[in-house]
Chains A and B, each alone.
Chain A
Amino acid sequence: MLEQEMELEVDVEAQAADPGEAVNLLKLIKRLLLEKAYDGVRMLFNSPQEAERNSRHLPLIAMDLFHDVCAPNLTDDVNCEESELFDCADELLKLLAKYAPLQELMLELMERVGESSSISVFGAYLRALQVLIQRQGRSKPQAVEWCLHSVYSRLQELPLPEYLSEGYDEAQAKLIEQEEDVEDLLAHYITVGLFRTPIVKEILQQDVRPADQTFRNCGLNRRNIFACFFIQLLGRPLALLEMGSVKEGMTRTYVQQVVEGFTKDASQCLGDPFYLLNLVEQRARWQRKLDASKGVYEMSSRNVFLIEEKLPLHALAMYYHSLFVGNQLPPTAPKIYAPLFLFESIVYLAEVLLKQQEPPLQHCGLRLVEYLLTTLGDPVPYASLQLDVHKRFFEALCKIVGYSPQVSLRQLGIHVLRQYVLAFEDQGKYLIIKNLLETQQHDGLMGYLAGMYKDLVHEALLESSPMPKVYSGKMFQEMLLLCVCVLPQDVKSDLLLHSDRLCSALNIVRYFALKDKQDVTGFWQALPEIERRFLIPLAKALDFSMAHYKAYKERVENGQSASDDALMQRQLNMLAVNITNSGMAAKDGDNHLPDIGTKEKLEVLASSITGLESLRALYLRANECIEQSARQRRIKPPISQALEA
């Protein structure tokens, strides 16, 4: 309606204008530009008498002016060589955007915004686009959406330093805004910020839900489109700049300012910033089944917030990252949402972030969950684990903890893993640890998880009476026998490969032998089985391995080691994994290390033998503790027996 009025207004003016005079004006502008009389051109539209007369002709010549004057001069070459001409063309474009045929110029600008070669050109076209979008008003939201899409596409195509996708450390993060490409990207975002300000103001004034409309309209309208656009902008590439930690009291970086601006606008357009969380499960858990025969296509949903192309899940996750971690929750955000609901919905989004390739996004996913975990008042109920998303989240998290080349990510990951497990009720904690121990392959992580279980039992021993089911009796024994005290390939296990896990298991055995002499947990009942399945084969394996490595060392010393080189290669590959983890990785596919000399071989063997020796020391200590405690237990019968007596 508004658009029709506008068009009508323009038509009336066009009718009033004399085509001959309009052509003359066009000629005059061109001549003035040729004569470099830029102020003369400005005067044509700035001086009160001239402006009124000349503006009337603009509807007739706007598109000619655009094609003949603006477009050819809004280029980087003109900007460098004759900046005044560029500025003049820029001003003219903004002016003619008020009078030009709306759809025609909009189409032109969409194309040129997408193709703009620099921030100056981008800015010039965006200023004109702003005028057009304001003229468009609430009608034809699809056209507005296309315009915004061309802006978004341009931002996505900007060149970025490669390391942003590969991850960077805190020191690099501090300097990130000094990078030329990043500076340019941020300049583009800031320009978009200037572009959207008056439009948002208008939306908030005009696009208000009428009193008789009880429910939110989730269809295609200007307000929703802009909400989606702002959230889209928070995704890639801006999200790649967010690996730097947000600390209070520090200078506000440009990245922060840009993120805050778009987050605020998105929240204002949405009204309730948590509203989209109601749709997250629907988006992440159930895939929309497309069916052309029923008209179900990617873009056919009447709820725009359910369409991935309009509202990518990773960008939505970044929006909530900004709200929670970036502390951008508006004061008007409803305070009646249940913390558990917020947590579960955020886990869906965090999982999306953890699954992305780029470490900055994974980092944000971890920070997001870390924050939400601090908001939980009560333990997360065990029933929540029926949601598949927890399992998927742990899979993604363990991949990062075990194999990410970024040290900071691994560290943050293990912290989040711990907090996440601890956030559940006892039964939930048990189930998570047990499942992870059964499914994960990473040895260090398995050792860590087994240690966590030991800590939980330790706490329960100190505090709980009676002991919870999951920390004693059958469930405790199951955990120890099936998940903790395990030699993966029995006597043939590669002890060095599994040393982290074995050390942890031996420590746990030693701990319970010493601390649970009363057998509150059921450790002593399980001990014979632990000995049969774990300790005895481990002793044999230790003897075999030690003998093997010593013999190998001897052969190397005598120069007869060719037959063992495969083993050496395997050990070196293990070493290579460690190097990869420390961020000093060779390129992908470079699995084989070059042959090494005798001296290096001997060094590797010496370290292997040291590793085995420390494992043996731990084994002996565990056995010693068991014997010692068993003796004490024989002298002082357990409480249960004492009571019977």
Chain B
Amino acid sequence: MPNENQIDLSGDGGVLKEILREGQGTETPHTGCTVSLHYTGRLVDGTEFDSSVAREPFEFPLGKGNVIKAFDMGVATMKRGERCFLTCAPNYAYGAAGSPPAIPPDATLVFELEMLNWKGEDLSPNQDGSIDRTILEASDKKRSPSDGAFVKAHISGTFGDRVFEERDVEFDYGEGSAIGIIEGVEIALEKMNIGETSRIKIQSKYAFGDKGSEEFKIPPHSAVEYTVKLIDCGKKLEEWKLSDDERLAEAKAYKEKGTNYFKKENWALAIKMYNKCKSLLPTNADTNEEVKKVKIATHSNIALCHQKSNDHFEAKQECNAVLALDENNVKALYRRGQCNLTINEFDDALEDFQKVIQLEPGNKAAANQVIICKQKIKESKNKEKKLYANMFTKLAANDKEDEPLRETDVLSKCGEWSEEDAKREAELTLERDNIIMI
């Protein structure tokens, strides 16, 4: 039975708290917070079995079952600076088994606690505080969303005191951006359990970044806060269990998804889906024509997405992957040619387009590109010529400025270059280079 100074935290007298020193303010830690405190544990006869006082403070994530039940319950009610006694019945501590040798079976434990501080849970990939979670409503379920699995949640975003969006969302995990879910929310969702409600503070790099959001009237570089309730989520695809045919079918489904995002001009998600398709494809592309065909199409589509998002180097890599599988793939050759043209690899581009024409003599687009390539090569050569010529001219001019005027000497010009000489030399250099290239 609790005495008048004790508070019954469990409702059945199993966890009793007696405050020794009141804490500051009214705030208490939420589930999921990392709590730092000092404790001393004693048996009812006063035998001390454990204490952190002579050590560094004890830290643990609150409410996740990492410590005995009574500890989780008691600490959750403490304010900063508070000191208290916590009397824990065996069923809230180590039960009938005890924890030999320090804690005998069926032992009631008395803890003296001093709350030092707590902080939110850092969910950011770099642990730099850019995604901070506070669990408002914990759940005893243990399933969380994972890549590709269906997610159903309710989200509510606030900036300052203003709620800028509130809605129910349903999407496949990893594709949240397609329905305007910011990355920070998606990262946090992965670590939430079904039924959990959390408050997520998200720094700008995982929210609306340096552009902000016109729609929600959020300025650039702004941190936002979301309250998210994970209503339901599906199980992830168990890839290792799939047969080759099943893998192919799944891969095709992802390819389809990729194509849908492509049509919506969401290049990033399209690439993500195509990459997923690629990773799902069975490894028998050498022997299975269908797999090979899908693989080629996927690489080719990724290349196009990269082109659309102006990542021409990546696009070129994907074209190379296609050509490794099918060296006469006209689309890949044409795309690689375009990439080469954009990244100023004119000779390579010309080679690609010429091969396209070789394979498809009537391909007008490629013929046009060949003309462009040749023109570009010519322009580039002229540019280089000018560049070198200017360089030598400038150098010569500098030399003239730096050098003090000397008396006219017939021999002084011997062995020195005139401007014309410099030009001629530059041209010769270029010609030499071209000879080497040829």
Contacts and interface: CB of A to CB of B under 8 A. Distances in A.
Given A334-B58, A339-B99, A296 B141 contact: no
Interface stretch (A155-163, A255-263, A284-292, A621-629): A284-292
A277 B57 CA distance: 17
B205 A294 contact: yes
A271 interface: yes
Contacts of A272: 55-56, 58-59
A24 interface: no
B interface bracket (residues with beta carbon within 8 Å of A)? 35 or more
Contacts of A208: 56
Interface string B74-97: 000000000000000000001111
Interface of B: 34, 36, 39, 41, 49-50, 52, 55-61, 64-69, 71, 94-99, 102-103, 111, 116-117, 119, 125-128, 140-143, 187, 190-191, 205-206
Given A215-B34, A291-B125, A377-B97, A338 B59 contact: no
Given A218-B127, A336-B50, 17 more contacts: A215-B59, A289-B125, A290-B125, A294-B125, A301-B126, A302-B128, A334-B50, A335-B99, A335-B102, A337-B66, A338-B66, A338-B68, A339-B99, A341-B65, A377-B99, A378-B97, A383-B140
A306 B125 CA distance: 10
A289 B134 CA distance: 22
Nearest to B142: A386
Contacts of B41: 335-336
A327 interface: no
Given A215-B34, A338-B67, A341-B65, A209 B126 contact: no
B34 A377 contact: no
B119 to A, nearest CB: 7
A378 B69 CA distance: 13
A558 interface: no
A146 interface: no
Q: B94, B96, B126: which has the most chain A beta carbons within 10 Å?
A: B126
A306 B50 contact: no
A221 to B, nearest CB: 14
Interface residues of A, number: 41
Interface in A173-225: 208-209, 214-216, 218
Contacts of B39: 336
Contacts of B126: 294-296, 300-302
A344 to B, nearest CB: 9
Contacts of B52: 334
A341 B140 CA distance: 14
Contacts of B111: 336
B54 to A, nearest CB: 8
A340 B97 CA distance: 13
A439 to B, nearest CB: 8
A110 to B, nearest CB: 27
A295 to B, nearest CB: 7
Given A215-B117, A291-B125, A336-B39, A386 B49 contact: no
A386 B187 CA distance: 20
B49 A377 contact: no
A336 B68 contact: yes
A290 B187 CA distance: 12
Contact of A336 (B56, B67, B205): B67
A216 B97 CA distance: 32
Contacts of A376: 97
B103 A386 contact: no
Interface in A234-275: 271-272, 275
A116 B177 CA distance: 53
A336 B125 contact: no
A320 B406 CA distance: 84
Nearest to A271: B56
Contact of B59 (A275, A296, A340): A275
Pick the 7 closest A-B CB pairs, nearest first: A377-B97, A386-B142, A335-B50, A214-B117, A303-B127, A302-B127, A296-B125
A15 interface: no
Contacts, number: 99
Given A215-B117, A286-B190, A289-B125, A377 B66 contact: no
Contacts of B205: 294
A642 interface: no
A339 B126 CA distance: 30
A278 interface: yes
Contact of A214 (B36, B94, B142): B36
Contacts of A383: 140-142
Contacts of B34: 215
B142 A387 contact: yes
A301 to B, nearest CB: 5
A384 interface: yes
Contacts of B206: 294
Contact of A338 (B50, B69, B143): B69
Nearest to B117: A214
B126 to A, nearest CB: 5
Contacts of B50: 334-336
B59 to A, nearest CB: 6
Nearest to A384: B142
B95 A306 contact: no
A332 interface: yes
A373 to B, nearest CB: 13
A294 B206 CA distance: 8
Given A214-B117, A306-B127, A383-B141, A278 B191 contact: no
Given A215-B119, A339-B99, A378-B95, A286 B127 contact: no
A218 B128 CA distance: 11
Contacts of B125: 288-291, 294, 296, 301
Given A214-B36, A301-B126, A386-B141, A338 B56 contact: no
A608 to B, nearest CB: 31
Interface in A366-408: 375-378, 383-384, 386-387
Given A214-B117, A306-B127, A336-B50, A386 B99 contact: no
Nearest to B141: A386
Contacts of A332: 55
Contacts of A216: 56, 59
A341 B67 contact: yes
Contacts of A377: 94-99
Nearest to B49: A335
A338 B190 CA distance: 25
B103 A286 contact: no
Nearest to A385: B142
Contacts of A296: 125-126
Contacts of B58: 272, 334, 336
A291 B39 CA distance: 41
A336 B112 CA distance: 13
Nearest to B99: A335
A117 to B, nearest CB: 40
30 contacts: A214-B36, A214-B117, A215-B117, A215-B119, A216-B59, A271-B55, A272-B55, A291-B125, A294-B125, A294-B205, A296-B125, A301-B127, A302-B126, A303-B127, A334-B50, A334-B52, A335-B103, A336-B68, A336-B71, A337-B66, A337-B68, A338-B65, A338-B66, A338-B68, A338-B69, A383-B140, A383-B142, A384-B142, A386-B141, A387-B142
Contacts of A341: 64-67
